[in-house]
Chain A
Amino acid sequence: MNQDLRQLENEVEAMLATWSDSLDVLPPPGTWECLGVAVRRELNEVWLDDQASPTPDSATLARIRQAVRTELNRVSNGWAGTFRRWRVRLPVAAAAAIVIGMVLLHQAGWPGSRPTSNTADRDSRSYALSVDPLTLFVEAANNVWAGDPLTAAIDTDLESLEEGLGRARTANDGVQDALDDIDERIDDLFESGPIDVLGRLENTQAGAVG
């Protein structure tokens, strides 16, 4: 071990000894060892701080300042240019979209007037060409509805609600059937009833006379 490293170890020991004198109770040996490691690392960091490091020369710094200014200009122009371009293009694009939309609506008519097709086994490009834009839009909306977790959850809720309504309707139908049955029997009773009653009355009267 050379002089520098010996000196380091002496410094570590001296520092630990100073602390140990000021403590009433010494920590366990493991803790003491960890403390020694931390002190050694700290002293080594101080040693490294004392070592000189190269610095950039003035030409390099000037080049960097220039590059930074160029980049600042590029970024600023980029934003301004983009804004300028869009300020002109946006209204034109909006107007074009409205015109195209009106033409498409005019050509397509309203949804439901044309048969929808199953897209599963068709080439999407030829399908898109063969189906009117409004049908495509409705199908796309259905796909989005099916694919989105939120709308899918709403869809499930609606399905269960519909099922519940269906069950209620079925139960209601049963009650209605029973009521219809009772109604029919009452009708039957009234249709055949008076004859029997009269017959029974005649028999009763004849028996009383006889």
Chain B
Amino acid sequence: MEAERIAEVIARAQQRDPGAFDALIEAYSDRLYGYFYRLTGRRDDADDLLQDLFVRLVRRIGEYQHDGRFDAWLFRIATNLVRDRVRRARRARTTALDQDEGDEEAGLLARLPDPSAEDPGELAPRSEQVDRLQGAIERLSAGEREVIVLRHFSQMSFREIADVMGTPLGTALARAHRGLSRLRELMNDEEARES
């Protein structure tokens, strides 16, 4: 969606025009869904997060002051939603382990990757079929994964990404470089193994 149209749609959304929200859903749902899916690795979690995001957008659109960086603002909310969900999942997992009960939600959410963890090996194997790229993304460290996915789907600058992640610019750049190289290597290894 071009800049002028976005500004017009946002202004209408701020007047609580349902049509404007439909236009925003149309324009952003693919990229946001991809972002959520690549970070959580699950379609049902991506569905829920996408819905949560647009519902939250209804409440918060009035706070947005249009400066041409709507994408960055939106993906910042998306990043916080994922982080909240991961935190809740970890709490649910801890509670479930403490109570020694097979809480279904805890079981599902326990598989979410933890963006704060640097160890890529702590993910539990998933039963559902995932594409090869997703498998490779999940083998990256959490920091690398978040930078790459945020950059890919939000098209934010590295400075904005560093700001969202609370890291220095050099760290964000280094993670992006290292993570992308590793991702491509992992994909190639996978291909080589299959062939």
Contact = CB atoms under 8 A, between A and B. Distances in A.
A48 B33 contact: no
A24 B50 CA distance: 52
Indicate the size class of the contact surface on chain A. Answer: 20 to 34
Interface stretch (A14-22, A62-70, A140-148): A62-70
Interface residues of B, number: 39
Label chain B's interface by main secondary structure.
helix
B181 interface: yes
Given A4-B188, A55-B34, A56-B29, A41 B16 contact: no
Interface string B146-187: 001001110000000000000000000100110011011101
A41 B177 contact: yes
Contacts of A40: 177, 181
A65 B54 CA distance: 9
Contacts, number: 93
Contacts of B29: 55-56, 61, 64
A56 B46 contact: yes
A99 interface: no
A51 B50 contact: no
A72 B177 CA distance: 42
A47 B25 contact: no
Contacts of A69: 18
B55 A68 contact: yes
Interface of B: 16, 18, 21-22, 25, 29-30, 33-34, 37-38, 43, 46-47, 50-51, 54-55, 57-59, 131, 133, 148, 151-153, 173, 176-177, 180-181, 183-185, 187-188, 191-192
